[in-house]
Chain A
Amino acid sequence: QVQLVQSGAEVKKPGASVKVSCKASGYTFTSYNIQWVRQAPGQRLEWMGWINAGSGNTVSSQKFQGRVTITRDTSANTAYMELSSLRSEDTAVYYCAREVVGAVWFDPWGQGTLVTVSS
């Protein structure tokens, strides 16, 4: 079955970077996009950006431009989201999700990765 499995929880200090992975299985990785969405504690879902796993083209939210880097490794069927210059407000659960190219809906989602930013 189609599945996205994310890397484990991280604790980072302010100013550091974090890289979250999202390993796909059960489908042709390069035929879909991978989206990244985060959710701060008790807050709403917030879109961060996406990557076309085939071409490697990316788009990110203006809010995160300059701080977020989305990449993929097609040999490992894995997408990555790296967020730099972390601050306490970046404490959140980070999700990846699969998206059909040309569609705008996310299914399925990874289990989420908690990133805690604390000094």
Chain B
Amino acid sequence: QSALTQPRSVSGSPGQSVTISCTGTSSNVGGYNFVSWYQQHPGKAPKLMIYDVTKRPSGVPDRFSASKSGNTASLTISGLQTEDEADYYCCSYAGSFTVLFGGGTKLTVL
């Protein structure tokens, strides 16, 4: 299966908001409410930021929010901080107990 489609890069200034999209199909993103988002700093393991489309694990700032419409999920980071600069990956259930990741988006905080 091909990866979910994410923009290769996004950028924003401190204090601004950015949104990262994740586009799939009705066989994955659009078909299930099992979208999660991961933050990955260089050389580090990914960290769960959002699960079940909109839910935040404890410890994740409420500046991180997410949604889904049709086959596209979105992650919004408001009040950008320098430590938010990282790669972000979406992930979706794809049926038959399989999982699909997005291509990843590099967030630059200018």
Tell me if A's interface is mostly helix, strand, loop or mixed.
strand
A46 at the interface (CB under 8 A from B): yes
Q: Is the CB of A105 within 8 A of B3?
A: no
Interface residues of B (CB under 8 A from A): 1, 3, 32, 34, 36, 38, 40, 45-48, 51-52, 57, 89, 91-93, 96-104
Output the nearest chain B residue to A99 by Cβ-Cβ distance: B99
Inter-chain contacts of A59 with B (CB < 8 A) = 96-98
List 18 A–B pairs whose Cβ atoms lie within 8 Å, in order of A's numbering: A44-B89, A44-B101, A44-B102, A44-B103, A47-B101, A50-B97, A59-B97, A104-B32, A104-B51, A105-B34, A105-B36, A105-B52, A106-B36, A106-B48, A107-B51, A108-B45, A109-B46, A110-B45
Q: Say which residue of A44, A107, A108 sits within 8 Å of B104 (CB atoms).
A: A44
Q: Is the CB of A111 within 8 A of B45?
A: yes
Given contacts A45-B89, A104-B32, A111-B45, 8 further A-B contacts (CB under 8 A): A59-B96, A103-B52, A104-B51, A104-B92, A106-B48, A107-B48, A108-B45, A112-B45
Inter-chain contacts of A91 with B (CB < 8 A) = none
Inter-chain contacts of B46 with A (CB < 8 A) = 37, 45, 95, 97, 106, 109
A61 at the interface (CB under 8 A from B): yes
A116 at the interface (CB under 8 A from B): no
Q: How far is the CA of A106 from the CA of B90 in the complex (A)?
A: 12
How far is the CB of B102 from the nearest CB of chain A, in Å?
7
Inter-chain contacts of A62 with B (CB < 8 A) = 1
Q: How far is the CA of A111 from the CA of B45 in the complex (A)?
A: 6
Inter-chain contacts of A44 with B (CB < 8 A) = 3, 89, 101-104
Q: Is the CB of A61 within 8 A of B89?
A: no
Considering residues B1, B40, B57, B99, which has the most beta carbons from chain A within 10 angstroms of its beta carbon? B99
Q: How far is the CA of A45 from the CA of B52 in the complex (A)?
A: 19
Inter-chain contacts of A21 with B (CB < 8 A) = none
Output the nearest chain A residue to B99 by Cβ-Cβ distance: A47
Q: Is the CB of A105 within 8 A of B51?
A: yes
CB contact under 8 A between A104 and B93, given known A35-B99, A44-B3, A47-B99:
yes
